[in-house]
Structure 1
């Protein structure tokens, strides 16, 4: 693998890591501001605590020589434990035994939170004693050099979204070639969402074009579609949040998009969603790893259907999902599974929202149940 030809999109390696660490370490003010956005910094005591955290992060950066180090010491060592402690009741994992320590995989998950999905999968891999994964995220999130440094230190692979159609197509093939070569030649894992953008309606469906691009990137080498699929060892992953801190925001955006035919993002809209997603209460979270996709496949649609089937059957359905389903379907099918759940408090969450927005948000909680039931019927 000629990593130089991917340098603009690949995570930092070698000396680039140390150069980025030096830049980040020299910008303690930016670290402080980032920490302040994740937690309360209203009184002097809280501000002193955040300043101490920032100093601790700078000291830990001395240990970072690659993205595994950054994950272990900074992301999984400091940031994620703090986020989980403040906004999550429990964080559980299942299915990691379907993967092997020494093998790399293409992890493909449903996409609910802009940055947490991939970050939580990485910490799940770390807790399961598996190799960490690089992660593909759009360049629209790289708002400045400091953020880009953190992203690329953290194993971030840049997906270029703001290109003309023809260039975007060619870049998709190059990005896919990077994925395949990373797994098959470098034996390193990578995460990618099953579709571009978050599933704001709770319907998690894989875009077959992602699979097609993997093959297109290797077609000139004479590698068959089925070989590419098997060589990538695609592992479907279901990420299940009990509560979505952005539920009403997503619902409002989608209702407006459906009415107008499009939704034009405002400046900093993604950053607001990221901050809310990190800080907001999420209740319980479960990460479920499926089994690597192996076998005879002739079309991208077949592979996408198998990814969907696994994700839908692997959902951890929380009382929020089950109650929302029963409420909207005028059913009591799952009532025995949420007897202790405060249904009135859950419905109060949406009080004040327009009726169409409220129903959209409730359906976003109910749709994983519908997908789960449909997948069970097909099995």
Structure 2
């Protein structure tokens, strides 16, 4: 057994066997049947599942490598993006060179689509897609683990509670990330903090930056980070398909002190995040910080500065900020009407009002906060104020 077998993605030699296992998995086929034919999946599931398996076998059964599989999946991703967005734009790709491997550290709003959009941009710019960090809390069903590991995902063991076991897990993760970039020449995508920023406040957890160094403590921190080609990525959604669910969770946490996820809630978030309307999406690949940061705390502050300033603010963000009860009086934030054309602003106003009306009144402050927070953070950085 290899050092990283417990967490690594599947390699090319494993693809045919894993595909065969997936296409024989009743749970996987049942999910696809419900997704594709929601009204028929119950009474006719017994008929739909073998038909779906036959079609998938015909389309993907000949795939003999991860790359060939991703090439076929890319067409589905492109169609999903076309249906669920008003377009994807990107900037900063001049900071990326073909043949180099990068450690992409990104803000985190959506479980699946954050790394999917990075893959989309990287793939369409002729670069190799990164390996994707995914928490084991999302891999509760065997077929989900198979699917993600086929698509270059590696496992982050977040469910471990023992201090010694957690330390060993982070040590292994650190070694894998360093090995992937320095030895395999394969890029990595990882979120800047565990879990999505449900309140819109994108911040880098310095513990993640420390983890990158854990397996190479005999080397200076700054040198290890420089060798990893750490690249902060700003992912901006005009609208978050899960914003109502996030507002509800934030409200319940604020009023009761805790929040218990319902069975299948992560699955529902994944499905809504993939198919739900996002408006425009923009990705910005920031420049590498270089070897000038001596510790994780300093580096985290620089990651925040780059990610937050690289975030694209859409009209809805300014509309939300204008009605946010916690708006910062120190900041000179212009009105949306001074920044955007009337047609664009009218469209955004209609959509924003629709979302507000769909949200229970007591939860609306938490919906507003999600969209207003990026404005506050970006303008505080512009003004030279601490976050």
Q: TM-score of the superposition, structure 1-length normalised?
A: 0.90
- d(CA) in 1 for partners of 2:232, 2:335: 28
**Residue in structure 1 matching 2:335, options 328, 333, 336:** 333
Partner of 1:206: 204
Range with bigger deviation, 64-73 or 49-58: 49-58
Partner of 1:182: 180
Partner of 2:290: 294
- d(CA) in 2 for partners of 1:251, 1:301: 30
> Contact between 2:131 and 2:189, CA under 8 Å: does it hold in 1?
yes
- 1:80-229 equivalence runs, <5 A: 80-166=77-163, 167-219=165-217, 222-229=218-225
Range with bigger deviation, 335-344 or 369-378: 335-344
- d(CA) in 2 for partners of 1:312, 1:362: 18
Partner of 2:61: 62
> Any gaps of 5 or more consecutive residues in structure 2?
none
Cα RMSD (Å): 2.6
> Contact between 1:28 and 1:54, CA under 8 Å: does it hold in 2?
no
- Deviation, 1:236, is 0.6
**Residue in structure 1 matching 2:272, options 273, 276, 282:** 276
- d(CA) in 2 for partners of 1:305, 1:133: 24
Q: TM-score of the superposition, structure 2-length normalised?
A: 0.88
Range with bigger deviation, 255-264 or 157-166: 255-264
State yes or no: 1:369 paired with 2:375: yes
Spell out, residue by residue over 1:139-173, the C-alpha distance to the aligned partner (whole angstroms, 9 max, x if none). Answer: 11112221111111001111112112311222012
- d(CA) in 1 for partners of 2:370, 2:277: 17
> Contact between 1:66 and 1:153, CA under 8 Å: does it hold in 2?
no
Matched positions, count = 370
- d(CA) in 2 for partners of 1:261, 1:226: 39
In structure 2, do the counterparts of structure 1 residues 296 and 248 end up closer, same or farther at CA, with 3 Å as the change threshold? Answer: same
> Contact between 2:108 and 2:114, CA under 8 Å: does it hold in 1?
yes
